Every structure is written in C-alpha cells, then in structure tokens.
Structure 1
Amino acid sequence: MTLKFASLGSGSKGNGTLVASGGDCLLVDCGFTIKETERRMARLGVSPADLSAILVTHEHSDHLSGVAPLARKYGLPIYLTPGTLRARDLGKLPRTHLIEGYQPFAVADIQVTPVAVPHDAREAAQFVFRSRASSLGLLTDLGTVTPHIESHFGDCDALVLEANHDPQMLAQGPYPAPLKRRVGGAYGHLSNQQAAGFLRRVGAEQLQHLVVAHISEKNNTLELARKALADVSEQVANCLFACQQQGFGWLEIEPRG
C-alpha cells in the first residue's frame, strides 16, 4: 500500500493535511468551516465520510477551528494531546483518543509517531507517519529545530516543512512588536533560513518529496523562500511550495527498496 498525502491549504488562514494508505485516510488539523472543508476535500477526490480519524497538532484556530464541527457531523474520532484538549472548549465530541507522553500509536495500518515541538501552545505535537516501507514527516508550527526533532524527521522519505517568514520582512512588516517577537521567537515559527539549515544538517538527498509549507502571506514571499532553500531543494527529487488557497495535490511516496 502506497503512502500518499495532500493539502487542503497551508497558512495562517487555515490548515489541513490528508495522509492516506490503502483504504485509510487521516486528516491532520482542520482550520476551515465544514462547507469549506468538504469543498476542498472534494477537489482532492475524497469526502469527510472517507476519513478514519482527525489528528490535531495544537489548539491555534487555523489548525483547530473546524475539527470539532467536522467530527460531530461525520462521527469521527479525534487524536490529540491532553494539553491541546484542555486548551479549548471543544464541546461534546464523538470519540477522543488522548496522545499521552507522545507515545506512538496506529490508526488502522498507518503508524503515527507524535513528536514534541517548541511552539506557543499547551502541548503541541507534529507527526511522522509510516506505512510499510514509506515514511512522511509533517513539521510546521515550531520556533526551533531541536536535536530531538532532527532525530525523528531527518530520515523521512517525504517531508512537509515550514518556512514561515523572512526575518527582514517580519521586522519591517505590519505586525505589532509583540507579535513579531512571538513569530520570530524560539516558540514561534521557522524562518526560511532555519528551514534551510535543518535540511542541510540532516541531508535532503533521500527525500522523494519536499513540500515547503505555512508560508506567511505578509512576512514572506515565494521568491525569498525559494532563494533561501535553493541549494538544498536541488538535492530533492520533487520540491514544491504549498499555498493557502490550493494547498497541494496528492503526492505518492514509493516504498524504500
């Protein structure tokens, strides 16, 4: 069974990523209304009724706002950390599975490894997915790349990686000073240069797909992100840049060996 992934949209106005293998399909985060989620999923040839579960990275509204309404309408189980659950009143949920201590778990045939990341949220997690001999890392919404993170995400076959902002654009941009400090701080978001540095340290040659994601519409440009990542993206078989409105279409990960 081939592991594949796609995006409903990536950015501060809403996030959602689909991860599928065989007959199983997971939605990681949902920052859209039910109607918008249904529309964006239909564009990718799936329906919320096809989902096996929703996974949540953290409680910020661009990742969480649509999770509970979608779960209630379609009777979907939700996987999230205790801290994320306590951070927001999500109302009555169909089924809740707590991710305790970032312990790995499985949803059908998809193995999921939650990874702790430094972000200004109660108990944020990012994820590595494995199915048979393929692996996918989702790594956004973090202010610092730690050795712990590198050990989990450095050997993936495909990677969705945040390059949120250009430091100079952020400094000169429209955000108020406290928000600039938050975004650019150790618990904020990765800059273009931080994303490039991570890839240089772990090596990108093994990546079949690199998706540069969560690109700020106010504090970054595609041109600046491409330039910062140019030397490492050349080593990747397929590199693309996710956008807020279109996300990206299905990408298949070939099994190793």
Structure 2
Amino acid sequence: MERRLALHVLASGSRGNAAVVEDTATGAGVLVDCGICKRDFFARSAEAGFDPANLAAIVVTHEHTDHTKGLGVVLRGLAKQGVAPAVYVDDAVRAASSEVVSLEGAHDVRALHAGDALSLAGISVHVFRTSHDAAASCGFRFEAAGGDVAGFMTDTGVVTGEADEALSGVRLLALESNHDVQMLADGPYPYPVKRRVASEVGHLSNVQAAEELERLLCGELEQVVAMHISQNNNTYRLPAETLASVVARAGHPACVQAAFQDLLVSVR
C-alpha cells in the first residue's frame, strides 16, 4: 500500500468544524465541512502545507451551523483566487440549511446521498449515513489510488452497521469522541440537552468511541484522531487516553491524538 492520504483537521468542536483530506501525491484535496471563518481556513491550510488552490470539492456532513457557517465566506475567498470547488450536500440538508441555500446560483452545489461513491480530487469518496438529530447526516470513507484509506465519522449517537463497515480497514481514522458520560451528567447543560447529547441521535461518548475503535483495530490502522471533543463535557486528555488504552491493550502500534477547536492537527 502506498501512503498517499493526509488528514488535516483545521478545527473540531462545537464552535466550528473543518478538515481536509489530501492526496499528497497530487496535492489535491477535499474539504469536509466548513464551520470556521475565512481567516482560520486559509491560515491553518497554510500551516498544514495544503494549497487551497488544489481544493477540488467540499462535502458537508449535515446542516448544523458549526459545520456550515463558513461556507459562503470561504467560497468567496477561494473565488478571488480563481478556485471554485463544487459543494456536495444531501438534498434534505440543502433544504434545511440557510447557509447552503445562500450558495444557490453563485456556486456549484451538487447532490450527495448515503450510498454514493463519488470521485473527487482523484479520491473515491464513499458516503454512509450516521445517526444524528439533523435533516440528514453522513460520514465518509476516502480511498486513494494504491489502496490508502481514511475514515471520517463525527456527529452520531450510535455506530450503525453501515458506518462500522465503511470504517473498516482504514489507515487514518477520524472518530468522534465527544463527551465523558460522568462529566455530561454532572455538567451545566439543561437536562433536555444532556438527554439529547447522550441519545442515539446525539454524539458518541469516549466509551462508545473506544468500543468502536476496538472493533476497527486492524493491521492497516496507523493514526487515530479523536474528533468533536466537547469543551464543556470532556477534556482533550480523556478521549486521547481512553482510545490510547484500547490500542495499548491490544499491543497495536497505532498512534492516537486529539483534534482541537483552535489548533491544527495533521496526520499522514
């Protein structure tokens, strides 16, 4: 297998999300979500060594604003550089998102559905459904020429069989590890919000993420990034340690680290 893919997590958390999957052999990339400002997008892309001029497409997981609120400003910034990536979004998300609706006419917005296999930036992008309280939500499996594979899943209350299958055999894994169960229970959120976060259409806990990682351990897996970590109901240390303990118990060589809200994390 040729190691071609890189994952650049520009931001991950409740205040904004964006990540680039890059084919390092060509420099082309796909942006997953855009819930950050133009300044942070360009600054962290530069820090990652990714040229936004090589951005071939944007794929949107769901309509919540922490995943979409930067779409317009970033696309306008890219347009000034002569870059016009297509935006792929589920029809239900398109209808539910004012940010996506505002792109109509000025930008190339295309349909995306669970089960699709798209060819973007020379990467095969497989779309799978996740379980979240959105009009529609999805994750992605990225396959590069030569057999390199990355999996990306955030914003899901449970791991479906479809998701588990899509994430199997990946080398790079971006996996939601949103909250610590006890911190959520003891934390400041109103009870209805706590119930929503912990529900089957909420977010994965550290324990749920660890259980999924244990199922996904394989010879190909090299890098694991804990994603969408709550700043109120978790710490950056807890999910990293919880997932690392799964790897250690199995005697597996994969590296584990946390993604941050305000700092770049890149894995290759």
Pairwise CA distance, 1:230:
3.5
Matched with 1:191 is 205
* Cα distance in 1 between the residues matched to 2:5 and 2:241: 30
- 1:241 matches 2:255: no
- In structure 2, stretches of 5+ residues that fail to align are none
Partner amino acid, structure 2, of 1:240: Q
- Deviation string for 1:198-242 (max 9, x for gaps)? 112233553111111111111012332234323323224221111
Matched with 2:236 is 222
Partner amino acid, structure 2, of 1:248: V
The structure 1 residue matched to 2:91, chosen from 78, 82, 98, is 82
Matched with 1:207 is 221
- Deviation string for 1:111-150 (max 9, x for gaps)? 0001101001111111000002100001111000111211
Matched with 1:112 is 125
* Cα distance in 2 between the residues matched to 1:226 and 1:160: 12
Say if 1:61 and 1:236 are closer, same or farther in 2 by CA, change over 3 A: farther
Aligned residues: 251
* Cα distance in 2 between the residues matched to 1:16 and 1:102: 22
Deviates more, 1:62-71 or 1:229-238: 229-238
- Deviation string for 1:151-204 (max 9, x for gaps)? 111221110111100011001101111111111110000000000111122335
SS at match of 1:182: helix
State the superposition RMSD in angstroms: 1.7
Pairwise CA distance, 1:7:
1.0
Say if 1:50 and 1:227 are closer, same or farther in 2 by CA, change over 3 A: closer
SS at match of 1:42: helix
Say whether the 8 Å CA contact 1:204–1:232 is kept in structure 2: no
The structure 2 residue matched to 1:163, chosen from 168, 177, 184, is 177
Partner amino acid, structure 1, of 2:96: A
Structure 2-normalised TM-score? 0.88
* Cα distance in 1 between the residues matched to 2:38 and 2:240: 33
Mapping for residues 24-35 of structure 1, pairs under 5 Å? 24-35=28-39
Matched with 1:255 is none
Matched with 1:67 is 71
Pairwise CA distance, 1:247:
3.1
Mapping for residues 6-85 of structure 1, pairs under 5 Å? 6-21=8-23, 22-73=26-77, 74=79, 75-85=84-94
- In structure 1, stretches of 5+ residues that fail to align are 253-257
Say whether the 8 Å CA contact 1:10–1:244 is kept in structure 2: yes
Residue identity over aligned pairs, in percent, reads: 36
* Cα distance in 1 between the residues matched to 2:240 and 2:67: 25
- 1:139 matches 2:153: yes
Partner amino acid, structure 2, of 1:110: I
SS at match of 2:195: helix
Say whether the 8 Å CA contact 1:29–1:54 is kept in structure 2: yes
